[in-house]
Amino acid sequence: MNAQVTDVVDVIVVGAGGAGLTLATELALAGVPTVVLDRLPGRNLQSRAGAIQPRTAEMLALRGLLEDALGRSIDYQLVGGHFAGLPVPLDYTAWDTRYPHPVLLPQDQLEAVLEDRLAKLGGHVLREHRLTGLRQDADGVTVTASTPAGAERSLRGRYLVACDGAHSSVRKLVGAAFPGQAATLRMATADLLLTGDVDDSSSGHISSRIHTSPEGHFAMITPLTNGLHKLVFSGPRTMEAERDAPVTRDEVREVLRATHGGALDVAEIRYSSRFSNASRQLEHYRHGRVFFAGDSAHIHSPAGGQGLNLGVQDAFNLGWKLAAVLRGRVGEELLDTYETERHPVAARVLALTRAQGVVMGPQRDGGLGELRDVLTDLLRLPDANRYMAGVMAGLDLCLPSPDAAAHPLLGLRMPDLDLVVGGEDGGEEQRVRFSDLTRDGCGVLLVLTDAPLTAASPWSDRVSRVRARAESGAADAEAILVRPDGYVCWAGGTGLTETLTRWFGPAA
């Protein structure tokens, strides 16, 4: 690492996938100098992750990103989520969300939305920069990277966040152990053109698109755009293939014949990749001045469409905290809450995806068929369905609170209430949603009564105080303090000053 340092920033983000771009846009919104390094020459145009869950949609709405994302989504509305592909849609409407179904948004399109926003905020991605070295000290992190011209470039940041995926180079350079379970199932995905009668008019539930064969083949077909379809599959040949082996037309045809007879054939494979159900998680998300988010911190089976959503939500949690520390508003102890809050979430996702992998297995002897029947009956019960819907959609998350007798909203996501603001001193009233108040990435103190709450005034440079009247979804609190990532950290009663200090730093 003898290259001269050419760039000095506050944060180096490694990886321009969903997690890395989300983090970079959050930091850029807060005015934090950031550089994003990515080894690829451009965005990966393969669809890969195919949907965003309701909680991710809500978080994109907090920053005004959802409208653009919906404009790029596929016009094929799912009726609900699923658990292990069982034939019972999970009812997200029981969780009071504006987005009660997964949004079919290929990962490359979400990344396009995020990269566009990053550019508008003055940021950009350094493409074809492959990380080759990393050294950290008490004040920051210095990295070297190979450039498109074959030269070596050195960059210095106060922190580095690894968002460079399942085979993270940062993880290897830091020497972070990645314990977990090795793969038992190898799969592949391809964006392709099909010939034959592809039925895209099904109910929209995931189970209607899963086809298996007695020989162990598995295929799930989802429509994309421009006549393309996404095929996720496995079979005896796929199970034996090396991770870097190309996905061949013969391999795909074998799966289609086994699962669809002669009804479908492959005309062209545009993009393809291989993956597995390996399940691993870092013991710690912070190693000195290096943080991990997304697949660099945890990997798991794609069952239930959790991976991209988990990484984006990691980034929303970490971004505002890093910005607050770097701007000198709060101490470094705030960064410890990133692992405290996000590590258990990923651990639960890993457990759920492993369970789904067992239930979705091809074997039907040994009681597995009966287990599927029992679980199907359970998911038809409203309470069980609501529970699993909250888990799979990310809507049930409740952040840890030291006060067991706290307001019921504390730690939960803030509902996107319909509000009326203004009207004071003869001004005109306006109807807004709560998510309209969070576009700048600051905290929000929503005042729902005539209480003055002047105690919050010294935090006005980092917390917006908004007086409003709720037109729907009564919150049953005189005021609610919401973090930049959309979670309630105070709801009426005492302790407002202490809460403001904890999450937003000392009073100005």
User: pLDDT per residue over 114-139, tens digit each?
Assistant: 999 999 999 989 999 999 999 999 99
Higher pLDDT, 75 or 350: 350
Token pair for 378: 């359970």
Domain boundaries along the sequence of the chain: 5-50+106-180+279-358, 186-276, 418-504
- Of 58, 52, 65, nearest in space to 103 by CA: 52
Q: State what percent of residues in the chain have pLDDT above 90.
A: 76
Greater confidence (122 vs 77) lies with 122
What does the pLDDT average to over 334-341?
A: 98
Percentage with pLDDT > 70 across the chain: 94
Question: Mean pLDDT of all residues in the chain?
Answer: 92
Which CATH number does the domain 5-50+106-180+279-358 belong to among 3.90.480.20, 3.30.1300.10, 3.50.50.60, 1.10.10.10?
3.50.50.60
What's the CA gap between 137 and 330, in Å, rounded?
21
pLDDT tens digits along 17-35:
999 999 999 999 999 999 9
Q: Is 38 strand, coil or helix?
A: coil
Q: Which helix (H) or strand (E) holds 14?
A: strand 5-14
The pLDDT-based confidence of 210 (bands split at 50, 70, 90) is confident
Tokens of 473: 């979804």
* Residue 401: pLDDT over 90: no
- pLDDT value of residue 5: 66
Can you read off the two tokens belonging to residue 277? 């159900």
Instruction: Give the range among 63-72, 328-337, 350-359 with minimum mean pLDDT.
Output: 350-359
Task: State mean pLDDT over 349-373.
Answer: 84
For residue 207, what pLDDT is reported? 55
Distance of alpha carbon 349 from alpha carbon 343, whole angstroms: 10
pLDDT at 363 over 70: no
- Please name which of 135, 108, 133 lies closest in space to residue 18, comparing C-alpha atoms: 108
The H or E element that residue 468 is part of is: strand 463-470
**In CATH, what is the architecture of 418-504?**
3-Layer(aba) Sandwich (3.40)
Range name among 79-88, 131-140, 348-357, 460-469 with the lowest pLDDT average:
79-88
Compute the average pLDDT of residues 184-209: 78
Q: Which are the contacts of 301, defined by CB distance < 8 A and separation ≥ 6?
A: 185, 276, 277, 279, 353, 354, 356, 357
Indicate if the pLDDT at residue 472 is higher than 80: no
Span 283-327, pLDDT tens digits? 999 999 999 999 999 999 987 788 999 999 999 999 999 999 999
State the Cα–Cα distance between residues 49 and 306, nearest whole angstrom: 9
Strands (E), 208-258: 210-212, 218-223, 228-234
Say what the pLDDT of residue 6 is.
Answer: 72
Q: What CATH architecture is 186-276?
A: 2-Layer Sandwich (3.30)
- Structure tokens, 189: 């995905």
pLDDT reading at 171 higher than 60: yes
